[in-house]
Structure 1
Amino acid sequence: MDLLYRKAVPQDGPEIARLSGQLGYPARAEQIEARLAPILNVADHVVIVAEAQSKLVGWIHAHGPSILQGRRIRKYEDAASFPKGAVA
């Protein structure tokens, strides 16, 4: 089975609602569409759907802070100062 991965669009709401219900998280299509709309164009959110034979078969939503924020950048800077091979 060939899968096509793409960014979600508001029109995916009904199929995401169907899949969500299968996982025990029932939601109406209108609810999913309302949740999707504000996050689809936000830089620190991504919603990816998987299609097989033009049918949605999966989805994932990821959200996180930018790698350039907080302690993470300091850890990367510190790692660069260790001798080669000292940090895995």
Structure 2
Amino acid sequence: MRDIRQLDSAYSISDRPTILVRHQAILVSIDPIRAVILRHRCIVFPGMPSDVATHLEATFVANMAESPDAPFEFTYAVACCLPSMLTFDL
């Protein structure tokens, strides 16, 4: 429970980007994306702008098509990180 609270800005001490790897989940908090990635499912917190959600879904689908044998959780974690990487123009 403590880990999930870190994803919510109301409970978080800072807004720094966070990726927490736990036994059954990967928790991602990269503003504006907040998600819990499970083995076969991703739960995205409400409040994400619709254009970011659309981009996230499109990136995930493209990554799955490119690497169909890649684990779901890693593919979605990469999709969550890409918008931030593009923002910083790495």
Shorter-normalised TM-score: what interval? Answer: under 0.3
Structure whose CA Rg is larger:
1
The normalised TM-score by structure 2 is: 0.26
Relative to total residues, which structure has the larger strand share, 1 or 2? 1
Q: Could you say which structure has the greater relative contact order, defined with CA pairs below 8 angstroms and 6 or more residues apart?
A: 1
The normalised TM-score by structure 1 is: 0.27
